[in-house]
Structure 1
Amino acid sequence: MAREGILSIQSHVAYGHVGNCAAVFPLQRLGHEVWAVNTVQFSNHTGYGSWKGSANSVEQIREILQGVEERGAFARTRAVMSGYLGDPQLGAAVLETVARIRAARPGALYACDPVMGDVGRGFFVRPGIPEFFRDQAVPQADIVTPNAFELAFLADRSIDSLEDALAAAARVRRRGPGLVVVTSLELPGAVDEIAVLADTGAGSWLVRTPRLPLTMSGTGDATTALVLGNRLANDDIPQVLQRSVSAMYELVRLTHEQGAGEIELVAAQEAYAHPPRLFEVERVR
């Protein structure tokens, strides 16, 4: 019998771990079949300042998606996941695919990582992408995983406290998603910690971990993958949050320990299914 799976539409790099190269392996390690559609084929992520390769055209990506559909995969797709989008037209193709999958497989989830920018860097995507996420993608998503900067844009309000984050997450959730997971929260009076918030209609929960002195590309892609993978296996949102954040902490910890220039995605693989340390979950609403 053909297996069910996850359709992941993201970038690809030959060297390092971002996009599908950060998301696919954790999902596989959690036991999920993944069908990866690569939006770009680059030598490495653009943070290095130089890279080789090219982006696939929207027409090429639509053709690939059509081929996946012709294999009967859409009826077996449990979830669609998307991350960085280089062009609003590509975003439209993603949403069209989500609609076709939901028609073929009612109940299929859409997990959207609304990659737009970050605190200190501001927006780093092309014009029109933030508005696409806010106005089109987020209302169609079941799960969204913004960082604090992206949440502030999506909710059109500043975030200076936990109360602000809760209000902003609830505002975004009321537009469509059932689960909003906010990463990279810096809370007042907790300079040595970083927090992740999960907000649903039934409640909100927070997990705090020690702050490690590094910022790496690919962590958001891996986080979204872990949240989706754990959510598909478990309806208990506090457990989904706890396992996802605890696994990510181990990934970042190992990367910091090794002094690596890329996230230690393979070295941390045991943590995806069996986090060595489970951080406390705090109910905040």
Structure 2
Amino acid sequence: MKGIISIQSHVVYGHAGNSSAVFPMQRMGFEVWPIHTVQFSNHTQYQQGWKGKAFSADDISELISGIANIEQLKNCQALLSGYQGSADQCLAVLDAVRQVKAQNPDAIYVCDPVMGDPEKGCIVPQGTTEYLVNDVMPSADVIVPNQFELAQFTNMEITDLESAVMACQKALSRGPKMVLVKHLHSISDDKFTMMLATKSGCFIAQRPHLKFAKQPVGVGDLISALFTAGLLKGWSPEQAFEHANNASYAVLKETQQRDEWELQTIAAQEELVAPTERFPITKV
């Protein structure tokens, strides 16, 4: 039984981290083996707060060791990582990647380098960002940063399309083979913009910018999961990119229509496989 190891945060209620990523990958046809970096009652944007705890790096390593013990790391097709709550967790993820690739050299590592965004600033502990930038992201086959995280990785200011392309090209020179920028907020005010950069060039995906009273959480985790599953299906990076844009839009549209804050991933599950609306990507 082949599968995807997903090392991310987890919420009991709602959809963020693994709670946003696992089901879409399953719905697209993959076994998913989730490992949680934290387990909270709900995501952290609720004004009432949240309950729960973070897990140690040793907890991650112990679970990877257990999977290795039953000789299943060879069947891991990809390792996807999201929120890491400490520098030690970053090191545990890198060690997991090394073990997976030792057993299956064809496995890919997809890193969603969760740091923050322009509105929230850095949302991870001091030290974690440095490990992500200097050690984790350069080791990944694919990185899925937002604009803020891409700027941190490349030490470049991103203000327009040209600087975004230059930043993606610099990111590719640092190790990753693909860069999917899950949100470029400096490109357009009325359209949600993403960018894909590979050796074949840079591509833009745009879709309507939906309005919410409170912005849903977990959209980036959803995009990373959809893109990972698309690549493992054997689609080209461009096909996987377009699908991730279309399917994530469908989930958001369902969420808006139901006047909800939490992503309506289950209600929109058919759209995860075959999105109704399509927005063609363009090369830049």
Superposed pair shares fold, TM > 0.5: yes
Deviation (angstroms), 1:234: 2.7
Matched letter for residue 30 of structure 2? H
Deviation (angstroms), 1:105: 0.4
Deviation (angstroms), 1:239: 1.1
* TM-score, normalisation: structure 1: 0.96
8 A contact 2:144–2:179 mirrored in 1:
yes
8 A contact 1:62–1:93 mirrored in 2:
yes
Matched letter for residue 46 of structure 1? T
Pairing 1:82-101 to 2, within 5 Å after superposition: 82-101=81-100
Aligned residue for 1:61?
60
Q: Does 1:80 align with 2:79?
A: yes
What CA RMSD, in Å, does the superposition of the two structures yield over aligned residues?
A: 1.1
8 A contact 2:117–2:147 mirrored in 1:
yes
Q: Distance in 1 between matches of 2:61 and 2:237?
A: 33
User: Which structure 2 residue ranges, 5 or more long, are not aligned?
Assistant: none
SS in 2 for 1:48: coil
Deviation (angstroms), 1:20: 0.7
Pairing 1:142-157 to 2, within 5 Å after superposition: 142-157=141-156
Using the TM superposition, name which of 120-129 and 103-112 deviates more: 120-129
SS in 2 for 1:181: strand
8 A contact 2:116–2:149 mirrored in 1:
yes
Aligned residue for 2:178?
179
Aligned residue for 1:218?
218
Aligned residue for 1:46?
44
8 A contact 1:11–1:39 mirrored in 2:
yes
Q: Distance in 2 between matches of 1:102 and 1:144?
A: 17
Deviation (angstroms), 1:60: 2.1
Aligned residue for 1:34?
32
Aligned residue for 2:189?
191
Aligned residue for 1:18?
16
Aligned residue for 2:121?
122
Matched letter for residue 148 of structure 1? Q
Q: Distance in 1 between matches of 2:276 and 2:66?
A: 40
Aligned residue for 1:108?
107
Q: Distance in 2 between matches of 1:186 and 1:52?
A: 31
Matched letter for residue 31 of structure 2? E
Deviation (angstroms), 1:55: 1.5
SS in 1 for 2:98: helix
8 A contact 1:187–1:194 mirrored in 2:
no
Using the TM superposition, name which of 99-108 and 116-125 deviates more: 116-125
8 A contact 2:217–2:262 mirrored in 1:
yes
SS in 2 for 1:106: coil
Instruction: Report percent identity of matched pairs.
Output: 38
Matched letter for residue 117 of structure 1? G
Matched letter for residue 83 of structure 1? G
Using the TM superposition, name which of 29-38 and 42-51 deviates more: 42-51
Deviation (angstroms), 1:240: 1.1
Deviation (angstroms), 1:147: 0.5
Matched letter for residue 165 of structure 2? L
8 A contact 2:37–2:83 mirrored in 1:
no
Q: Does 1:140 align with 2:136?
A: no
Q: Distance in 2 between matches of 1:71 and 1:235?
A: 30
* TM-score, normalisation: structure 2: 0.96
8 A contact 2:109–2:141 mirrored in 1:
yes
Q: Distance in 2 between matches of 1:73 and 1:23?
A: 21
Deviation (angstroms), 1:187: 4.3
Matched letter for residue 104 of structure 2? R
Q: Does 1:269 align with 2:269?
A: yes
8 A contact 2:158–2:186 mirrored in 1:
no
Matched letter for residue 278 of structure 1? R
Q: Distance in 2 between matches of 1:69 and 1:278?
A: 40
Runs of 4+ in 1 over 2 A off after TM superposition: none
Name which of 206, 209, 229 aligns with 1:208: 206
Q: Distance in 2 between matches of 1:273 and 1:33?
A: 15
Deviation (angstroms), 1:51: 1.3
SS in 2 for 1:163: helix
Q: Distance in 2 between matches of 1:155 and 1:115?
A: 15
Aligned residue for 2:245?
245
User: Which structure 1 residue ranges, 5 or more long, are not aligned?
Assistant: none
Deviation (angstroms), 1:166: 0.6
Q: Distance in 1 between matches of 2:230 and 2:68?
A: 25
